[in-house]
Structure 1
Amino acid sequence: MWLHGGPADICLNNFDPRIQFAALNGVAVFTPNFRGSTGYGKEFERLNRNDLGGGDLRDVIEGISYLERQGYGPFVVGGQSYGAYLALMVLVKYPEICKGGVCMSGMYLLFPEYASSWLINSGCIWMDLEDEELLAERSPACCIENLAAPAFIVHGKLDQYTPISSLRYMLQRPRKVNKDRLLNVIIYDDEGHGLSKKEHIKETYQKIVKFTNEMTR
């Protein structure tokens, strides 16, 4: 399952080289448009205001449950930017539902000192930045000790939209399980929000496909 960024964005039935590459290597990809996505009217788009990692996360879980009922699985969940945030939320809030996760250029802490440029986007306040209890509840880095399946994480050190500081916080957080076993991290010194260099794109997506196939055997 691949989750789009935004969160105000949409997955369309058109060509995506990442998804095509996965499909050509034996990976079936489902791309849901959870609440908060564009293209379904303003009311639907606003459903995740002050509820990031809430209703939209439940939509993702329902999508996985639906696919299971149709006989599909096992699953790896992944995404980029907001999709990476939501993918890691799946792994820490529902640790038994997926075999692994792929997180690219994600935000893992919602506190403003880590995420203000991401939370305040296009003049829209996505979360109440004064509600520290809710921000902690909806920050996957704050409950990373719940992680039970491996996560493949990619981040650019020059990322200004989702700064690497939240990833560093998560990597330094004490955990009861083996971080080296469950967190597979690639940091590119010369990349920003997303990958731009051909050699990095090729290397990363080859590793993602290998990781996904290994997790779903």
Structure 2
Amino acid sequence: MIKVLIAEDMHIVRGALVALLGLEPDIDVVAQVASGNDILPMARSAGADVAVIDIDLPGKDGLTAAGELHEQLPGCRTLILTSLGRPGTLRRALAAKVSGFLLKDAPPDQLANAVRGVVAGRRMVDGDLALAAWDTQDCPLTPREIDVLRLTAEGYRTVEVAARLYLSAGTVRNYLTTVVTKLNARNRVDAIRIAKESGWL
């Protein structure tokens, strides 16, 4: 029996996923969480074989949690299930060593097949999305520039970003100027839009 953990913050979607996988004779949903912070401890205590994770979760995002699972609980495979079907998002997921990447609008039978595939040690990724990721450029931003841009996108002011990242306000402004230049953006708002559309945030 394949033991699965579902990490999804939308209650109706989570319930539907549990019900869908519950129809499979060889799959048992042993845990459900709504926050990225709960994924690692729950996967460990439930002995999950696969964690099906949404990217956009409260607390830790799904990709950060997937990276932690890969490092600290390598026996638990990770399958990202998301509506964020952008090549940049797939690249970030692969960098986090996820086992699979499936879009939420995929046919229902693909979820169970993807769960079985990752347990068998296969990398399960939508073919069209993989080709698109292959053809797109790498993110030109450094991890620190992404941190600064992400907090800015979340609405934090420059001094608040500086305090959270233990930087000076001037350094944060310099990072944002560099980001705008690298992305050929008109301003910070445009840089955030470009980075989100590319799947880098």
Q: What TM-score, normalized by structure 1, do the two folds share?
A: 0.38
Structure number with bigger Rg: 2
Q: Which has the higher contact order (CA 8 A, sep 6+)?
A: 1
TM-score, L = length of structure 2: 0.41
> Which is richer in helix?
2
